[in-house]
Structure 1
Amino acid sequence: MSRKPDAKKYARRSKRPPGPPARREGAVSQSSGPTQEVRQGVQWVTVDEDNDDQRVDNFLLSRLRGVPKSIIYRIVRKGEVRVNKGRVKPDTRLRAGDTVRIPPIVRKEKPEQVKPGSRVQGVMEAAVIFENDQMLVVNKPSGIAVHGGSGLSFGLIEVLRSARPGSRFLELVHRLDRDTSGLVMIAKKRSALRYLQDELRQKRVRKFYHALVAGSWPDDVGRVDEPLLRYEMPNGERRVRVDSAGKASLTTFRSLERFQGYTLVEASPVTGRTHQIRVHSAWVGHPIAGDDKYMDEVSMKAFRSIGGQRLMLHARALEFRLPGTDEPMRLEAPYDEAFDRVLRILGARKSGSEK
């Protein structure tokens, strides 16, 4: 007669599968190949003031970068995430002092696209024009997106995070088009992010752009308040047009300097719609030089003939109050070489014609 195996003894023997010895909690291992597998044990995290009132799902997404949202919501749903030892829902609000249990996570991460010390990283760090313990402001170069995605391996925020591995929090406060240069605010604390985004919503942050537009800007056009509608081209490209079905939009304009065939204007968007300044300028009949979306081919060819190489739109200045102190601040960003060179060429032609 055969004996039944001791169930308790068998369970103890089978608890760990054959293979290398188990790692202690919190240990990290990396595999070779195009991706690295990161195994992290149970984490017990105390919520600080900076994360007070944040949703659980957003808290986890910020701490577990690279983990798909589906996994985040699954571990919450299964009760593996606990707050003060209790089960929670994804929209549960955290409070400072709460203790959050984050279960072991296995995720695959791509190697860093931006290597420390790379030329792009060096350029971006040199472009920081203001920084304190709450935020930093960068003079973003034209041609670099503010974040990766849509076929781009990295953007401004990824470069900054790579350059500052010790920074616990770096998030974009607002965005700029890829081909637009100039000032971008980045929050270093969640409280600063909430403060600055609320200031933007309340229209207490003033943005001033410099744009070189085709033709002579009319003196009687100081504001454009046409509604804007986003749509897609047949090839999937995103565009915006003036349309009564669109969202209310307002941009103020003033002329700064006139050249032969062009005008340097200051544009200040009161609302923050996609491509707002570009579309409002084109609607008036004076598209921004170098704008391959809203400028006609003949005008584009003429701009290229004078050495134009980029979209001539630059986020020149910001006026805002510093988070934490409410101290008023005004920052200005110089033009890059490509923008400045076009203005010098046009200025030389203007001076020659006046002699």
Structure 2
Amino acid sequence: MAYAKRSDDSATPGATAGVGVQYVEAVEGDAGQRLDNFLVRTLKGVPRTHVYRLLRKGEVRVNSKRAKPDQRLAAGDRIRLPPVRRSAEETPGATRAPSPSLARLVTEAIVYEDADLLVLNKPAGIAVHGGSGMTHGVIEVLRAVRPEATELDLVHRLDRDTSGCLIVAKRRAALRDLHAQLREGQAEKRYLALVCGKWNLGQKRIELPLATGERRGGERHVAVRSHGQMAVSTFRPVQFFGNVATLVEVEIGTGKTHQIRVHAAYAGHPVAGDDKYGDREQNAQLGAYGLQRMFLHAASIGVQRPGTHEPLVVSAPLGPDLHAVLDALGQRAVRGGGSRRGGARPPAR
């Protein structure tokens, strides 16, 4: 049984295919990092999907206790690593470089950057990290095109089909600072969503507990459950398109998985194009207006700059595909008697 203190981003000494159980100790630079991200970096060559399987089975322990993927590490934590197969030969996809087109798409999506962080207008259809059939997500692409930036890490997540503001930390200290802001509710996240039907609820604060489960086949599914974690979303109508759809602005005080999608569906107005929590017939109707993906966009995010704590607000414009849907709906509404706007407008093209 091997034991090593983690001192950098290299693989744990002796951690090659066929080695037995190992124990590693988190150092100061790991403090505040999510366990799943720590494992992906430490168990080089192991697919992320396998890392999550190990966590679900309880084969990874922190201080002799079962741990969840989102557990934050502290310096001195003792992490049990089970024997895994992870050589480059056995997992060739883990070392394959992203395609030039994908690398260009991700790097051109950067809308803000400083010494501590960068913000992307993440394109829809690209996951934030690899797994579930995707070799490369945003973070893997950035690490591949910037090999000298050894501390790049996701500050938060967006669903694969959600576009918009995504923050990536460039230094561990910045990651810890930004994670603390998210935990304490100091970050301001604003989304734009097209929801099905006419939103007649006015400005509506939805505060409901959400719990994550699995459907048949291992698909993740979130539902309102009394034993879940509380999630808060505030919806405000921006523009009505008759009885067909409504553009809403959503501010979230928490960052739970599928939060906006589940809250919107619970309110009777699912997000347009949502094939998991949405309405199939309404999605088909909106497809006639050119909607080909879920209409959910992280329009802006506000945080405090790590270290100085000066305010920083970054916005990401709607993509041309979503603007085209709004234009088509607007033309239909004009023919049918006009659409009515609320107080805000979607970001300019």
TM-score under structure 2 normalisation?
0.72
- CA gap of 1:322–1:113, structure 2 versus 1, over 3 A, is same
- Matching residue of 1:278: 261
- CA gap of 1:195–1:350, structure 2 versus 1, over 3 A, is same
User: Which residue identity does 2:268 align to in structure 1?
Assistant: G
- Matching residue of 2:45: 66
Q: Separation in 2 of the partners of 1:168 and 1:312? A: 34
- CA gap of 1:52–1:294, structure 2 versus 1, over 3 A, is closer
- 1:352 paired with 2:335, answer yes
- Matching residue of 1:79: none
- CA gap of 1:232–1:48, structure 2 versus 1, over 3 A, is closer
Equivalent residues of 1:114, 1:121 under 8 A apart: no
- CA gap of 1:324–1:237, structure 2 versus 1, over 3 A, is same
Q: Separation in 2 of the partners of 1:61 and 1:219? A: 43
Q: Separation in 2 of the partners of 1:253 and 1:114? A: 41
Q: Separation in 1 of the partners of 2:320 and 2:39? A: 42
- CA gap of 1:54–1:225, structure 2 versus 1, over 3 A, is closer
Equivalent residues of 2:31, 2:176 under 8 A apart: no
- 1:315 paired with 2:298, answer yes
Cα distance, 1:292 vs. partner? 0.2
- Matching residue of 1:233: 215
Which of 179, 186, 192 is matched with 2:161 structurally? Answer: 179
User: Which residue identity does 1:190 align to in structure 2?
Assistant: R
Q: Separation in 2 of the partners of 1:338 and 1:195? A: 35
Cα distance, 1:293 vs. partner? 0.5
Looking at CA atoms only, which structure, 1 or 2, has the larger radius of gyration? Answer: 1
- CA gap of 1:308–1:93, structure 2 versus 1, over 3 A, is same
- 1:140 paired with 2:122, answer yes
Q: Separation in 1 of the partners of 2:39 and 2:129? A: 20
- Matching residue of 1:215: 197
- CA gap of 1:190–1:224, structure 2 versus 1, over 3 A, is same
- Matching residue of 2:174: 192
Query: 5+ residue gaps in structure 1?
Result: 1-36, 38-46, 74-89, 95-105
- Matching residue of 1:298: 281
- CA gap of 1:52–1:179, structure 2 versus 1, over 3 A, is closer
Equivalent residues of 1:124, 1:140 under 8 A apart: yes
SS of 1:178's equivalent in the other structure is coil
Count of residue correspondences = 282
User: Which residue identity does 1:325 align to in structure 2?
Assistant: T
- Matching residue of 1:161: 143
- 1:152 paired with 2:134, answer yes
- CA gap of 1:307–1:320, structure 2 versus 1, over 3 A, is same
| Residues 99-136 of structure 1: per-residue CA shift (max 9 Å, x gap) | xxxxxxx94363643346x1111011110011111111
Aligned positions of 1:75-94 closer than 5 A? 93=76
Query: 5+ residue gaps in structure 2?
Result: 1-15, 17-25, 60-72, 78-85, 339-349
Cα distance, 1:52 vs. partner? 7.7
Q: Separation in 2 of the partners of 1:304 and 1:92? A: 51
Q: Which has the higher contact order (CA 8 A, sep 6+)?
A: 2
User: Which residue identity does 2:305 align to in structure 1?
Assistant: L
Equivalent residues of 1:141, 1:182 under 8 A apart: yes
SS of 1:211's equivalent in the other structure is strand
- Matching residue of 1:44: none
Equivalent residues of 2:118, 2:168 under 8 A apart: yes
- Matching residue of 1:29: none
State, as a whole percentage, how many aligned pairs show the same letter.
43
- Matching residue of 2:111: 129
- Matching residue of 1:110: 92
User: Which residue identity does 1:255 align to in structure 2?
Assistant: P
Q: Separation in 2 of the partners of 1:123 and 1:283? A: 35
- CA gap of 1:341–1:273, structure 2 versus 1, over 3 A, is same
Q: Separation in 2 of the partners of 1:247 and 1:164? A: 37
- Matching residue of 1:262: 245
Equivalent residues of 2:213, 2:221 under 8 A apart: yes
Equivalent residues of 1:252, 1:269 under 8 A apart: yes
Equivalent residues of 2:31, 2:74 under 8 A apart: no
Equivalent residues of 1:317, 1:332 under 8 A apart: yes
RMSD: 3.3
Q: Separation in 1 of the partners of 2:27 and 2:44? A: 19
User: Which residue identity does 1:265 align to in structure 2?
Assistant: V
Aligned positions of 1:311-350 closer than 5 A? 311-350=294-333
Equivalent residues of 1:51, 1:191 under 8 A apart: no
- CA gap of 1:235–1:202, structure 2 versus 1, over 3 A, is same
